[in-house]
Every structure is written in structure tokens, then in C-alpha cells.
Structure 1
Amino acid sequence: MSSETRQTVELDIERDFPADCVYVDVLLSRALRRGRASRLLRNQMVVFAADVAMGPANDRYLYDPAAICQTIEVLEGKGGRDITKGPSRFTKGPLRGLEYKHFFQASFMAQNLLNESRKAGPGAIYRKLIRRHGSYAAVDGRRLTQEDLGLITEAFVTDSFERRAAQRAKGPRWGLTGEHLVFARTADGMRYLFVAPHTSAEAELVASARACIADFPALKDVAPGIA
């Protein structure tokens, strides 16, 4: 039999990751306009910048601080193309009143391509080959060349990604999927609270939101259920 020894290590963010603190603070200063980031979100981003994963041992996650800030810039109205789903509201339970927006990073590419390929089916590949060769008859039964393989890859990867990203123009229910940046709208601007996997239990999200009340007391009015 084997046993596993687990240790809890207490980190001092400012002491242990000084360069990452500076990096994240610069990112946030560039991304924010009227909004503010909680201490929790800032520290999450510092830990990620230091290449330290978070979460339980069997479900660790590591997010890109620049990707989080890209979504913050969209929410702040600072420009940039909006390609991800949301914002969406929590409509029930203690989180009601808060919102979340998907943020995207390279590691989420595979799931998005899988989702889009399921939706588009093999027709996307055939249409690509037909545009190149002129007709279905010219494609059907054709021996694939290196060029054809390149076209198939382009249809499956590049075209699928661009098509899914462009769908965001239809509305907040469309676009690339990712993980969640949870935030609140207040009279003084956006309050960015924390990031979390979409699989997080409600109790975990509530605990994270509650921890942000110290920074933003107005959260008790926006989402009374977390107080």
C-alpha cells in the first residue's frame, strides 16, 4: 500500500512573489478605468503569474492574468474585440445580483473547437474543399493531397475558432466559452471579485464573494444573499 502525504504551505504574496505582484499590478492598472479589483482577485492573479495552480489536488487550474485583464478591458469599455460569452447574471440563490463573464486563454481552445465541430459537422470540411476544387464531384472520392490536408486543418481549427468567436456579435449567449470572472455592478463602477472554474460548487463561489465584502461593502446591497 502507498500513502500520500499532503502539506499545507502558507505563502506571503508580497514577500514570496514580488516580481509577479508588480506584473499583475501593472496589468490591472492598464485594464481598469472606473472599476476596481478585489484583493482576492489580485492575489489569485499573482499566484497564477507565479505559475502556481489552485484548487483541489484532482482538479487544479492555472489561468493567464493577461487573459483575465483582456476581459476586464472589455467590461470597462476600453476597446478590444469581445469574443467570449457573457456577461450573464446569477438569477437565483445567494449569488443573485452578481454577474459573470467568460474569459478565454489558449488552453481553452480544444474545448471550443470540439464544441464547434460538433455543431458544424463534416459539412464545414466539405464546403472548404468544394470552394477549392469547384464541385462536390471533384472532391468525392478524391485522393487527398498535402494541400487538401492543410485545408481540412484550416476548416477544423482556424475557421471553427473564428466562426465561434464571431458569434459573440449575436449577443451574450454566444461566443467562445471559458472560465468565469465574477463581478458586480455598483454606482461607482464595476467591482471585479474573483475567477473560478464553471464547475465550482455554489458554496465555494459564495465564500469567495463573501470574502470580497471587506473591500467592497456595497456588495451587501448588490447581492444580499452573500452577506
Structure 2
Amino acid sequence: MRNVPLLAVMAALLFLLSGCALFKSTDMARTTPEGLYQRGLEDYQEGRYKKAVESFQRVKDEHPLSEVAILAELGIGDSYFSNEQYAEAELVYGDFLSLHPANENLPYVIYQLGMCHYKQIGAIDRDQTETVRAKKEFERLVARFPSSKFSFMAEKMIQECRRMLGEKEFYIAHTYYKLKRYGAALRRFEVVAKEYAGLGLDYKVDFFIAETRKRLIEEEANKDKDTDAYRPISRPIQLFPYY
């Protein structure tokens, strides 16, 4: 997924190449908004993400009304994302959505927002809030722009997020199972079977549902045996002493 941000910057690069007549002087070009943006692109493509942010930020600050100012905003978000600064990228993409609600790049930006959350997902035994947030962004993209190519990618990510949430539920259920809390385990396993079917979890979930039910039956049988063992033996009332 690391090459996804290039989709936006490469489109911008084509725009710049088509306007190459502007670059009559290299020194002069570097001071124009297009030149600053070009410098940011070069730094981005060479992996110098911090420098890329600086150039894109200059475009945004010094030339806010230029044709490349909006692309520079995307460049900042993409640079943070590629530098694995996902929280920072999330803020930039979020601001872009607020400032440019009708921009043609919205499907891409929403997809990147989802990926920012996805990249911050922790281990399966940790809180899965980021998984829920990623899934929500991908679902928003599919709902708003169903024909976008990014919606096609988002649909796959939705399934992946659902699988991870199912794995989390299975982890909790299995923990209850190991603790011999079979009633709680069975309820969790049944949630996984019902809400996360068809995501690669079916076989092991079905196995543990059967095993857990068997353990519950054994527990009930053992309780009945214990009850019988401690039941007092009734004796006839002795009316007369034995001699």
C-alpha cells in the first residue's frame, strides 16, 4: 500500500510537465509555486519526505491561490503518510475534506484517511478502535463514490477490517474457553459465526462451538454426579430398639 500516494502526485506531475514552458530559468522556476511544487515532488520521489513537506507547505503558505496549492495540500498528506507519520497525515487529509468538500480528489483522500487508521491498528489482543475507524472511512467512501476505483479498493479493505474484528472476537472467545468459562466462550463464538461468516474464520469457529458445547454438557453431567454423591440416604424411622 506504500505506493498508493503516488497516484495523486503522479497526476500532478503530468500537469506540471504540460506546463513546462513556464520553466525558462531554473532559478526563477524554483521561486514560482509550480517550481516549489516540483521541488516537493522530487524530494517525495527520492524519499526525502520531510523536505517534501517543507516545499509543499511553502506553496500552501506563499501561494495559496495558485493552481497547485490544492495539490500541495495533498502532497503534505502523502509525504506524512509515506513517512509513516499516520496521525499527522490523518489531520491533513481531514482538513482537506473540510476545506474542499467538492474536490475531485475526495475519493482518494477518504481512502487515505481509512489507510491512516488501518496503519495504526495494533495487535489482536489490543484495542481495535482504529480498525473500526478504518472500516467506517472505507464504508463512507463506497457509499459516497460507488463508481470510484478507490471504492473498489475500499471494499477489499472493508473485508479485511471485518476479518480483523472477527479475529478479535475469536481471541476473546478463546480466552474464555481456556479459562473454562464455557458459557461466555460459547456466546462469543456464536457472535463470530453469525457476524463474521465467510472471512476465513468459519472452520475454527465451528470447531470450537462444538467443543464448547461438549464441555458444557460434561459440566452439567458432573454437576448431576456431584449432587447424587452428596444426597443424604433416607432410612426408615426406628420405632423400637434392636436387641
Shorter-chain TM-score above 0.5:
no
Question: If the length of structure 1 is used for normalisation, what is the TM-score?
Answer: 0.22
Q: Which has a greater percent of helix?
A: 2
Structure with the greater relative contact order (CA < 8 A, sep ≥ 6): 1 or 2?
1
Q: Which has the larger radius of gyration?
A: 2
Question: If the length of structure 2 is used for normalisation, what is the TM-score?
Answer: 0.21
Q: Which has a greater percent of strand?
A: 1
